[in-house]
Structure 1
Amino acid sequence: MSLDIHTHAFHPKIANKVLAQLEGHYRIHPTGTGTVEDLLPRLHKAGINHAAVHSAATKPDQVIPANNWAMAMQKNHPQLISFGTIHPGYAQWEKELDRLERNGIKGLKIHPDFQGFSMTDKRLAPIYEAIGTRFVIMLHVGDNKPPEENASSPQKVAELIKNFPFLTVIAAHFGGYHHWEYVCEHLAGKNVYLDTSSSLFTIPQDLLEAIFNTHPRERILFGSDYPLFDPKDEIQLLAQRLHLKDSEIQDLLTNGEALLDL
Structure 2
Amino acid sequence: MFVDCHTHVFHPRIAEKAKMKLAEHYKLFCHCKGTPDDLLLRAGRAGIDHCVALCAATSALQVRPCNAYAGYLQHNYPRITAFGSIHPDCTDWKQQLDWLRSTGVHGIKLHPDFQHFWLNDPRLYPIFEEAQRDFIFMIHIGDSLPPEKNPSCPYKMAAILDDFPHLNVVAAHLGGFRQWSYALDALAGRDVWMDTSSCMKEISDDTLKAILKKHPRDRLVFGTDYPIMDPQDEIDALQKRTRFSDNEIDEILANGTHLLFG
Q: TM-score band (shorter)? A: over 0.9
Alpha-carbon deviation of 1:188? 1.3
Whether 1:242 aligns to 2:242 is yes
Whether 1:17 aligns to 2:50 is no
- The aligned runs of 1:150-229 (5 Å cut-off) are 150-229=150-229
Provide the secondary structure at the position in 2 that maps to 1:51.
Answer: strand
Partner of 1:140: 140
Q: Once superposed, what is the RMSD of the aligned Cα atoms? A: 0.9
> In 2, distance between residues paired with 1:258 and 1:206?
29
> In 1, distance between residues paired with 2:25 and 2:43?
25
- The aligned runs of 1:15-54 (5 Å cut-off) are 15-54=15-54
Alpha-carbon deviation of 1:106? 1.7
> In 1, distance between residues paired with 2:200 and 2:116?
26
Alpha-carbon deviation of 1:132? 1.4
Alpha-carbon deviation of 1:185? 1.1
> In 1, distance between residues paired with 2:202 and 2:258?
30
Match for 2:59: what amino acid? Answer: K
Alpha-carbon deviation of 1:259? 2.0
Provide the secondary structure at the position in 1 that maps to 2:56.
Answer: coil
Provide the secondary structure at the position in 1 that maps to 2:12.
Answer: coil
Provide the secondary structure at the position in 2 that maps to 1:137.
Answer: strand
Match for 1:9: what amino acid? Answer: V
Alpha-carbon deviation of 1:256? 1.8
Provide the secondary structure at the position in 2 that maps to 1:62.
Answer: helix
Alpha-carbon deviation of 1:249? 0.5
> In 1, distance between residues paired with 2:160 and 2:218?
21
- The aligned runs of 1:108-127 (5 Å cut-off) are 108-127=108-127
Alpha-carbon deviation of 1:158? 0.4
* Moved >6 Å (runs of 4+): none
Alpha-carbon deviation of 1:45? 0.6
The number of residue pairs the alignment matches comes to 262
Partner of 1:129: 129
Q: CA deviation digits over 1:22-71, x for unaligned, max 9?
A: 11110000011111121111000110000000010001110111111111
Alpha-carbon deviation of 1:144? 1.0
> In 2, distance between residues paired with 1:257 and 1:205?
28
> In 2, distance between residues paired with 1:184 and 1:73?
34
> In 1, distance between residues paired with 2:92 and 2:63?
10
Provide the secondary structure at the position in 2 that maps to 1:29.
Answer: coil
> In 2, distance between residues paired with 1:233 and 1:258?
24
Q: CA deviation digits over 1:146-168, x for unaligned, max 9?
A: 11100110111100100111100
Q: CA deviation digits over 1:73-120, x for unaligned, max 9?
A: 111110000001001111110011011011111210000011011111
Match for 2:200: what amino acid? Answer: L
Name stretches of at least 5 consecutive residues in structure 2 with no aligned partner.
Answer: none
> In 2, distance between residues paired with 1:106 and 1:97?
9
Quote the sequence identity (%). Answer: 46
> In 2, distance between residues paired with 1:111 and 1:7?
13
Provide the secondary structure at the position in 2 that maps to 1:259.
Answer: helix
Q: CA deviation digits over 1:179-215, x for unaligned, max 9?
A: 0011121111111111000010111111111111110
TM-score (norm 2): 0.98
> In 1, distance between residues paired with 2:147 and 2:51?
30
Match for 2:48: what amino acid? Answer: I
> In 2, distance between residues paired with 1:258 and 1:202?
28
Whether 1:253 aligns to 2:253 is yes
> In 2, distance between residues paired with 1:107 and 1:149?
28
Alpha-carbon deviation of 1:130? 0.6
> In 2, distance between residues paired with 1:259 and 1:131?
16
Alpha-carbon deviation of 1:218? 0.5
Alpha-carbon deviation of 1:133? 2.1
Residues 106 and 260 in structure 1, CA contact (< 8 A), matched pair in contact too: no
